[in-house]
Amino acid sequence: MKSVSIIILNWNGWKDTIECLESLYRINYPSYEVILVDNNSSDGSVKMFQKWAQGKEKTSSPIKYFEYTKEELDTGQYLKGKKKLNSFPSDKKLFILKNDKNYGFTGGNNIAINQILKEGRSEYILLLNNDTVVSKDFLTELIRVAKKRKNIGIVGPKIYNYDIKNSQKIIQSAGSTMNLYTGNITMYGGNQIDRNQFNDIRTVGCVSGACLLIKCEAVQNIGLLNNIYFAYFEDVDWCFRAKEKKYDVVYAPASTIWHKIAKSSSKMPELIMHYRVRNRFLFEKRFANLYQYIFFLGFYFFIMVPLWTVRCLVFIKKPKLLKHFLLGLKDGLIS
């Protein structure tokens, strides 16, 4: 059975994270470990995770957990405590890595990814957003697809919008494609009712970092997430780099999860705006050819800049958001 290390990154979102963990510990895949990385939360997240693992915040039986810091990880001091938990079943153990600051999506995940690669215990790494809820067989289906061909490096599930009030399943993503001429990402099936129209296993341009399974072998060949992004576009970058190394990026429709929309961006909209704009330019510089990049610049300056200016000043009346849009634009051009 293929072993999987699941990384969940938390920053001031313990309620969503606990709901994610509750669903994760009910899956039917037998060989996994969960590494919960806390990016120095200020909302008491770690204490809430302790209570949850002890059984104080849920009805199921307690889960053994082991906490360690980035410093203990760097020095190897964590190994002694971690080994004590390795003998426990997958659904009865939790590893909590406490970072000393917010390293972003890329840095926080990379710290755990490095740990996993050094230990060499797992064959796959799964990045899972803390604001997701997973189906019972989501991981089983991801692994089933990943094993189909040797050159499959990355696999992603069908992602539904998390909406407990709507009985219809609204697709958020069934894989995606990146247009290097415009810098836009198109989600297959985005906002469509699921009528079984995206039920075929297929190669796609990229899959969402909300739930991304990657072979450890692929990570060793393509490298870690690119820390220059901090957050946003790092998952697309990873998929493009995997394809450069001749790995396939594949969509697995029988694997399903539910993703809450814009949970992180609602906490800090200006900062997210900055990174989304800046990182789009960084990505284009890395992967677009000369003609694509020139077209992209024209598209962005003549279409996107006027559109966002009108939207921020006239429709949503948030001039501060426009300021961060322009700052992101500047940083993307000069970085």
DSSP 256-323: EEEE-TTTTTTT-HHHHHHHHHHHHHHHHHHH--HHHHHHHHHHIIIIIHHHHHHIIIIIS--HHHHH
pLDDT given at position 185: 95
Quick: pLDDT tens for 81-109: 788 888 899 999 999 999 999 999 999 99
Q: Which residues of the chain have pLDDT under 70?
A: 56-60, 164-167, 262-267
The beta-carbon contacts of 40-46 under 8 Å, at least 24 apart in sequence, are 40/11, 40/98, 40/99, 40/100, 40/101, 40/102, 41/10, 41/11, 41/12, 41/13, 41/14, 42/12, 43/12, 43/13, 43/14, 44/14, 45/10, 45/11, 45/12, 45/13, 45/14, 45/17, 46/96, 46/98
Please give the Cα distance from 311 to 176 (Å, whole number).
26
User: Would you state the pLDDT for residue 2?
Assistant: 83
Q: Give residue 268's pLDDT.
A: 76
pTM of the model: 0.95
Interatomic CA distance for residues 91 and 152, integer angstroms: 27
Q: Which pLDDT does position 168 carry in this prediction? A: 78
Which of 70, 68, 79 shows the shortest CA–CA distance to 118? 79
How do residues 221-270 score in pLDDT, each as one tens digit?
999 999 999 999 999 999 999 999 999 999 999 999 999 976 655 567 88
CB 157 within 8 A of CB 142: yes
Single out the residue of 267, 2, 254, 4 nearest to residue 128, CA to CA: 4
pLDDT at 60: 61
